[in-house]
Chain A
Amino acid sequence: MQGRVGRTAGPGLRHRLRQRFREWVNRRIPAARAVTLDQKRIFIFPSRTGLFFALCLLVMLITAINYQNNMSFALTFLLATLFVVGVLHTYANLSGLTIRALRATPAFPGQQSEFSLQVERGRQRDHFGLHLKWPGSGDTWVNLTDQDMVQVHLHMAVGDRGWFSPGRLLLESTYPLGLLRCWTWIDLDLCAMVYPQPLACPELPGLATDNPDGAAIPIAGSDDFYGFTDYREGDSLRQIHWKGLARGQGVQTKRYAAYADRSVWLDWDMFAGMGTERRLSHLCYWALQFESRDQEYGLRLPGLALEPGKGDRHRDRVLQALALHGIQSRPR
């Protein structure tokens, strides 16, 4: 019975301890766009290798004692004090670094978002073997030797619609001796926007258009090509005349005839009776559909209307509106 109580208490206690630790770290290292590392933020402790090294030192010490060999004593002490000096050098490898949040690319749920950071050094000294990682992201190692700053890109799968916060960034290093591990958990004020999960539905229930008669417009067959225009920012990459570009004619965009007069409104009210997320998912699906068909579309959400348009920039605005619908602000 007692064992059982112990077992149930164990995880609870551990959970509470972890909670307390997280709160303590949050107080100690608050979130910021850029964090400069100083003694308040850097933790240092012997690494597993360091413990192994200590064991080796013990063997050396016993050898020195048993053989009463003064030079062996001296060497053992030299290595022990090297360990101590290593504390300062390991610490100096992180100290003075500034980690700056650059951007995070938006992504659909379950997809990878790219988080970009910049690591800058504050002093004229070389930094080696800086290991950066978010829980759940890939690993990166960087050196700061020739240049004063380096950009780091980490990829991580994002969660549900809205803002995705990657949590605390781990920055650690064991340079120069590997005997000590120096690390910090930084809460960078960096979030990735997560679009709604596109959810297919066979047809748009009540299609609202700009046409006076209100009839549905056939969507297919809208790609009657009529000519080229010079590329303008915001044009879809898909419509760039690549062959022409390769021939050296400059960047041109293919223009299609049908879209000017066939704009569609995607409306919140089209999916009446469904839940918020489902509505947004369907709207998202259709926005992507129209975009891929190169057709103009607008968006109407409660309290927000985006005039019909198309192109990458328009699509991003639409997706952003869908992603942040009903979400007050960035977390924190």
Chain B
Amino acid sequence: MKPDQQIPRNALVWIIISLFTLVAPHAERLPLWVLGVYVFAACWRIMVYQGRWSFPGRWVKAGLIVSSFAGIYFSYGSLIGLEPTVALLLTAFALKLIELARRQDGYVLLFLGYFICITEFLFSQDLLIVLYSLLNVTLVTTGLVAMHRPGENQFNRKTIRLATVMLLQALPLMVVLFFLFPRIGPLWTVPIKSHTAKTGVSDFMKPGDISRLGKSDDVAFRAEFSGDIPDAADLYWRGLVFSVLEEGAWRSVRYYDIPAAERRPGPVETSGAPLTYRIIMEPTQQNWLYSLRYARATSPGVMAGSDHVLFSPTELEDERLYSVESWPDAVLDPTLSQWRREVELRLPQGENPETVAFARRLRAESGSDAAFVDAVLARFTREPFAYSLNPPLLPGRNPVDAFMFQSRTGFCEHYAAAFVVTMRAAGVPARVVAGYQGGEINPVNRTVIVHQFDAHAWAEVWLAGQGWVRIDPTAAVSPDRIEWGLERALAGEGSFLRDSPLSLLRYRGVAWVNMLRLRYDALTYRWQSWVNGFNREKQFQLLNDVFGGISARKFILVLIGSWVLILGPVAFGLLRRRERRATSPSDKYYLAFCDKLSRVGVTRAAGETPEQYSARAERAMRPMAEQIRQITRLYTALAYRPAAVADGRLNTLERELERSVRNFRPGRR
């Protein structure tokens, strides 16, 4: 093999390091055996390097490829979708290491490495992931640099320096390109994240669903209000409206079950200034968007359902930013259509007979629907109902009966469901609303952080003249939940984030940990809104603001201008004639001495020997003659008679010269 084809050992080490740092962030999504392939590949390659094993033959390679394809297929159940594709790519990446023999293989491997960095971004564009990927890019680039240093067969830590320098020089150019490059829509549809779990509130609700979310400290979304933040007790983030109770689970009315005339939300009269805010949702793999009622989205691509909830036509695979205006006091649906009334009153036949009978009795005793609502809530307050994250399981056919009259312990979804069943049994239209309630206000940037444990379910009751009215039965049982959040509400039970001992939220009491967490959260919010939210509209707006109009000519001028501005100094630094350094320390000291003399007018002529120069200087500056002679003597001893200077005395002489030159202060004439 030609020397330029060999991969120096230094490069091999860097490549193996970058291999493992690249796969690390993917590890959580990969089957364990893929990580095994990485270890196996690295061991094999090291064995090849040591000459104990040889490179794999053609059939071994084919076998490895086929078996990893099969492995991916069996692990994921298919080869289609983003996760299996990435897993395949990562496995190929590891296998390529085994046959890394020539430089060409190295190129393929490292370019694949760059691509693997990109695939990580398809799953997360978190700030930490981005910083980590920057490290990965640096390592891969270092591998590339190391490959072009023939004969470097020792691991060299310093190789990373050039890669870092080059990337730092490229970074400002990249920023310019990032903002100027025209953003166009997707060219074709691409594999989606089919294997990523849906998170957050799901599209149907069984008892226990919301309490499961109550155990997670992940962030669901962050909201930033342009004005004051409403009270925590008023922050009811509506996501889904469940109108249908079927087989013990609540779900929304299906779009195609709605009569065509009612598929769009009815008109809502609004008055006064709205609350304006914007929300950045974490990816959920679902369509729901959260908002305060009554909400109108001001961002494009947000739809409104017939029950006044917002949703996105595509699933949220990445963070999603949208702006909303809300009128909390607007009346929703002042009149109810016949179809709608029937839907909102329907109950499965023959279930929960005790609750039905109780509801009818209580309604008959109450004067109005509103009074009936109060009476039911009063019962929740009066009777020994308890609020718990871990309620007992409710038996089969009549869960509401079991909850209302026996266990009397439940999480918000139990109360909401029981309340709605009670209302409907008495002929009052009612439905369950699922979403989040409350949120943590980050004092750093005044955003509301809504966590998964803020997930909540409540009820809406239709009252004549008032439309849909929000009723939260949980508030009657546990006012703390609404006023202070889940942590306070569960203080007695001690179940808040019991299963996540590492969650930073558990250490909210420790001031500096909490401050750090909130600061990082504020940074994340800014990152998400600035970088992830940068799209075509933002780009147009930004370029319009900065350059006052967009034209191709301006684009090219700005691009070229900024690049010249950035690359000019880089080129200057790289190509300027730098003289070879003065070699010995004694030369350096002597030059400093000449410098000092030249400042007072005695400049050393070209070709003048130290002795001649010394004689001239002594004549010019009588009082300093002794010093000048001394320095010249020391220097000549060091420079011209190194053999005569014993090793031990060399350092002494050098130090003496340094000191004499330092103390030599020719006064200005």
Contacts and interface: CB of A to CB of B under 8 A. Distances in A.
Interface stretch (B171-179, B465-473, B514-522, B641-649): B171-179
B107 A178 contact: yes
A129 B115 contact: no
Interface in B99-147: 103, 107, 111, 114-115, 117-118, 121-122, 125, 130, 133, 137, 141, 144-145, 147
A235 B150 CA distance: 42
Contacts of A79: 114, 137
A60 to B, nearest CB: 5
A63 B567 CA distance: 28
Interface in B179-211: 181, 183-190
Interface stretch (B249-257, B263-271, B529-537): B529-537
A141 B4 contact: yes
Contacts of A174: 148
A174 B184 CA distance: 35
B147 A141 contact: no
Contacts of B571: 88
A59 B187 CA distance: 12
Nearest to A176: B145
Interface in B616-631: none
B31 interface: no
Interface in A68-83: 68-82
Nearest to B173: A81
B580 interface: yes
Contacts, number: 164
Interface string A55-96: 010011011111111111111111111101110110110011
A63 B150 CA distance: 34
- The secondary structure that dominates the B interface is helix
A71 B121 contact: yes
Contact of A178 (B114, B148, B578): B148
B174 A60 contact: no
B529 to A, nearest CB: 12
A34 B525 CA distance: 61
A85 B173 contact: yes
Contact of B148 (A65, A69, A177): A177
B181 A69 contact: no
Contact of A69 (B122, B133, B577, B580): B122
Interface residues of A, number: 52
Contact of B4 (A69, A81, A92, A131): A131
Contacts of B150: 128-129, 141, 143
A180 to B, nearest CB: 11
A148 B583 CA distance: 12
Given A65-B187, A72-B122, A75-B117, A177 B580 contact: no
Contacts of B318: 68-69
B575 interface: yes
B549 interface: no
Nearest to A90: B148
B584 to A, nearest CB: 15
B171 A78 contact: yes
A123 interface: yes
Given A125-B578, A178-B147, A56 B103 contact: no
A53 interface: yes
Contacts of B149: 128-129, 143, 175
A88 B173 CA distance: 14
Contacts of A60: 114-115, 118
Contacts of B187: 62, 65-66
B114 A122 contact: no
Interface string B152-182: 0000000000100011011101100110010
Interface in A37-66: 49, 52-53, 56, 59-60, 62-66
Contacts of B147: 178
A8 interface: no
A66 to B, nearest CB: 4
A51 to B, nearest CB: 11
Contact of B114 (A75, A81, A91, A141): A75
B574 interface: yes
B575 A92 contact: yes
Contacts of A74: 174, 178, 531
B581 interface: yes
B570 A72 contact: no
Contacts of A70: 125, 178, 531-532, 534
B81 interface: no
A139 interface: yes
A176 B162 contact: yes
A174 B170 CA distance: 18
B118 A72 contact: yes
> Which interface residue of B103, B173, B174, B581 has the most chain A CB atoms within 10 A?
B174
A123 to B, nearest CB: 4
A67 B193 CA distance: 11
B563 interface: yes
A84 B170 contact: yes
A124 interface: yes
Contacts of A92: 574-575
A139 B3 CA distance: 9
B151 interface: yes
Contacts of A123: 577-580
A70 B141 CA distance: 21
Interface string B311-351: 00000001000000000000000000000000000000000
A230 to B, nearest CB: 30
Contact of A85 (B169, B183, B535): B169
A205 B162 CA distance: 72
B668 interface: no
A10 B207 CA distance: 82
7 contacts: A53-B111, A67-B190, A77-B173, A85-B567, A141-B150, A176-B148, A177-B144
Interface of A: 49, 52-53, 56, 59-60, 62-82, 84-86, 88-89, 91-92, 95-96, 122-125, 128-129, 131, 139, 141, 143, 148, 174-178
Given A71-B133, A84-B563, A176-B144, 5 more contacts: A68-B183, A70-B178, A74-B178, A77-B178, A85-B567
